[in-house]
């Protein structure tokens, strides 16, 4: 439950807190402590760390979203700003909603011009308190963060026992550090209780709305999904923001892929010399029957394209986790976007089409992370799992992961030695079943039959090298049939009908989902009713094109400049561009509900987006 100040937004009792810090100041641990303390009180939250790509010195922001209605996307605007960075002061103060709160270090007096008349100002002399209590400069810097958490706990009614417990857990086995942090916490809390009006209008009360949900980042979830999906090989080259995915896979492999009796590792993780080498290792391992993957981001996809084409044309399974960031080129390495959609769909030169999955949260990162390996084996081609930095590196509150222990890996069409010995016709690129998917063998399956080599040049149905045009066209058409077959096997889209029949719809995907849910509710409250469809995969299921056909106009919400999903829909579905209205957010920060709401509300009257009239009884 979230109570709000009289001047705050009463309509939906939504609360957003933001911490403005300097990168390298040690604030991350304190900010996470603050977020987890609210979660431990049973209150749903969403936290996002917006940080620079350098090691130290540039601004960083940490957001905590608290919503009585359970919204977990970015809302836009700030109810309580903890302004700890003088460099971004003006920008931070400007973000506060009217009636909101500004919390700052009041050790050094500031002129009145630095404040706003329509907000509440709370000053705590943090630096003065630290200088009085500590002599070491690093301690002064670190404990100042814990002190402001203590002050906030009094102002917002966060239960002190919760934070004490978290500090004990954080410094388990280091009792001295735990006590010093708890002392700093109480220093801030006691000062606030003695000198400020506590609590303020924004206050927190224990709740039970978290339920059995878990708090986890998407990269860790995808790494665990790869383990459950049967992956035993990871070849990768470090790149932000995907590095923690490979590290997560290694962490879980040590637990689940190590023989307890002997300590023998049943997995291989290789840091390659570059991205091209990493995908080459994945293809080699997959050719030999292992389930293998790489984790990268946009620049890595650019460098991998030659081997991605080999995986597609030689028809060798491969899984690529792409944790998208802002491009092009180096772009903004620690900012989020959905800007690799077209690159993933058509990676490599020539005519290629790849399977692409769009998870919305860590739970789907786990599920699709596992499913990607079944799809790669079944269709013998690359499968991209498109996360982004927002999903990958931030902690999300989501439903617990579920797994059916009776589930078995789908290895697709693999011919056995017995089948070869019995004389079954084997053509490596022969479409025996009419679905475009050929049969394959693992190397060494039979001493004289099956496939022992592969190549990326043109061939006939029996893998004999040829440059005859008819054979090449036959093979390329079969690849299209295979891609068409995949439509029925990739994750289906999820539809959310409007409260009443609607002429217009909206398409969205991936991490936009959380903000989209809130924006739709706000639009409906204003009489703008939209049917909504969340796309979860490419190739597009028939449901996607049917959805577009049922509506006069369809908004397409995405986080890139060039409307990449919209372009893919027009190209693959032959959709008239005028029917697809782009809603584009690409400044590198996660999309907000207010942005979506404002952008659609602005266009709705012009496009005559009104509900259908209900038939008379």
pLDDT above 70 covers a percentage of the chain that reads 95
Long-range contacts of 92-96 (CB under 8 A, 24+ apart): 92/18, 92/20, 93/119, 95/18
Cβ atoms within 10 Å, residue 10: 10
Domains belonging to the chain, first-starting first, are 2-195 (3.40.920.10), 215-398 (3.40.50.970), 494-607 (3.40.50.920)
Those residues whose C-beta lies under 8 Å from the C-beta of residue 69, and which sit 6 or more positions away, are 12, 13, 14, 518, 521
Which position has the higher pLDDT, 5 or 571? 571
**C-alpha–C-alpha distance, residues 204 and 68, integer Å:** 10
Calculate mean pLDDT across residues 44-55.
87
Those residues with Cβ within 8 angstroms of residue 443's Cβ, 6 or more apart along the chain or in another chain? 287, 288, 289, 450, 451, 452
DSSP 613: P
Is the overall model pTM greater than 0.85, yes or no?
yes
How do residues 151-184 score in pLDDT, each as one tens digit?
999 999 999 999 999 999 999 999 999 999 999 9
- pLDDT value at 5 more than 60: no
The Cα angle at residue 311 between residues 571 and 292, in degrees rounded to 5: 115
The CA-based angle 306-310-313, given to 5 degrees, is 130
Q: Between the CA of residue 173 and those of 168, 169, 251, 454, what are the distances in Å? A: 9, 9, 22, 55
In the prediction, which pLDDT does 12 show?
37
Instruction: Specify the pLDDT at position 25.
Output: 65
pLDDT tops 60 at residue 13: no
Who's near 329: CB < 8 A, 6+ residues apart? 299
Rounded CA gap, 257 and 95, in Å?
Answer: 48
pLDDT at 51: 86
Tell which phi-psi region holds residue 265, choosing left (phi > 0), alpha (psi between -120 and 50) or beta: beta
Which residues lie closer than 8 Å to 430 by C-beta, 6 or more apart? Answer: 438, 439, 461, 462
H or E segment and range at residue 294: strand 292-296
Q: What is the pLDDT of residue 402?
A: 95
């Amino acid at each position: 439950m979230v109570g709000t100040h009289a001047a705050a937004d009463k309509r939906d009792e939504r609360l957003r807190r933001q911490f403005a810090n300097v990168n390298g100041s040690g604030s991350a641990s304190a900010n996470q402590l603050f977020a987890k303390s609210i979660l431990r009180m049973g209150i749903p939250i969403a936290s996002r760390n917006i940080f620079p790509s350098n090691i130290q010195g540039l601004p960083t922001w940490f957001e905590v979203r608290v919503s009585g209605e359970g919204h977990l996307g970015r809302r836009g605007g700030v109810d309580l700003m903890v302004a700890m960075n003088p460099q971004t002061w003006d920008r931070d103060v400007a973000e506060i909603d009217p009636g909101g709160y500004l919390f700052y270090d009041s050790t050094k007096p500031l002129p009145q011009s630095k404040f706003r008349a329509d907000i509440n100002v709370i000053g705590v002399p943090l630096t003065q308190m630290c200088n009085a209590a500590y002599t070491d400069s690093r301690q002064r810097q670190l404990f100042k963060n814990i002190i402001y958490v203590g002050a906030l706990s009094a102002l917002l009614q966060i239960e002190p026992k919760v934070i004490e417990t978290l500090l004990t857990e954080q410094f388990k086995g280091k009792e001295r550090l735990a006590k010093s942090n708890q002392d700093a916490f109480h220093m801030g809390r006691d000062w606030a209780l003695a000198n400020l009006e506590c609590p303020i209008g924004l206050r927190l009360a224990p709740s039970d709305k978290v339920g059995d949900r878990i708090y986890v980042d998407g990269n860790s979830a995808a790494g665990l999904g790869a383990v459950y999906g049967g992956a035993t090989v990871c070849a990768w080259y470090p790149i932000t923001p995907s590095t923690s995915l490979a590290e997560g896979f290694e962490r879980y492999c040590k637990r689940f892929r190590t023989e307890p009796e002997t300590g023998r590792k049943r997995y291989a993780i290789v840091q390659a010399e570059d991205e091209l080498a990493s995908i080459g290792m994945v293809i080699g391992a997959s050719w030999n029957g292992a389930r293998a993957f790489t984790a990268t981001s946009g620049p890595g996809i650019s460098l991998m394209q030659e081997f991605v084409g080999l995986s597609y044309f030689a028809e060798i399974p491969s899984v690529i986790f792409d944790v998208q960031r802002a491009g092009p080129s180096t772009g903004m390495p620690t900012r989020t976007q959905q800007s690799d959609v077209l690159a993933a769909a058509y990676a490599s030169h020539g005519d290629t089409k790849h399977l692409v999955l769009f998870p919305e949260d860590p739970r789907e990162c786990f599920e699709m992370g596992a499913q990607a390996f079944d799809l790669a084996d079944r269709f013998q081609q690359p499968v991209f799992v498109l996360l982004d930095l927002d999903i990958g590196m931030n902690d999300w509150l989501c439903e617990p992961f579920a797994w059916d222990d009776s589930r078995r890996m789908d290895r697709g069409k693999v011919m056995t030695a017995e089948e070869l010995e019995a004389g079954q016709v084997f053509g490596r690129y022969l479409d025996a079943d009419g679905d475009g998917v050929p049969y394959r063998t693992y190397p060494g399956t039979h001493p004289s039959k099956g496939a022992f080599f592969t190549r990326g040049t043109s061939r006939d149905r029996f893998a004999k090298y040829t440059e005859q045009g008819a054979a090449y066209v036959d093979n390329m058409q079969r690849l299209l049939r295979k891609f068409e077959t995949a439509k029925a096997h990739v994750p289906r889209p999820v539809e959310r009908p409007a409260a009443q029949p609607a002429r217009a719809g909206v398409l969205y995907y991936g991490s936009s989902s959380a903000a989209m849910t809130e924006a739709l509710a706000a639009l409906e409250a204003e009489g703008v009713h939209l049917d909504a469809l969340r796309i979860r995969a490419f190739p597009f299921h028939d449901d996607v094109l049917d959805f577009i056909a049922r509506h006069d106009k369809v908004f397409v919400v995405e986080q890139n400049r060039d409307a990449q999903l919209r372009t893919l829909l027009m190209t693959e579905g032959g959709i008239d561009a005028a029917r697809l209205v782009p809603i584009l957010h690409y400044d590198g920060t996660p999309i907000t509900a207010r942005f979506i709401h404002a952008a659609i509300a602005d266009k709705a009257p012009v496009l005559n987006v009104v509900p259908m009239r209900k038939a008379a009884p």
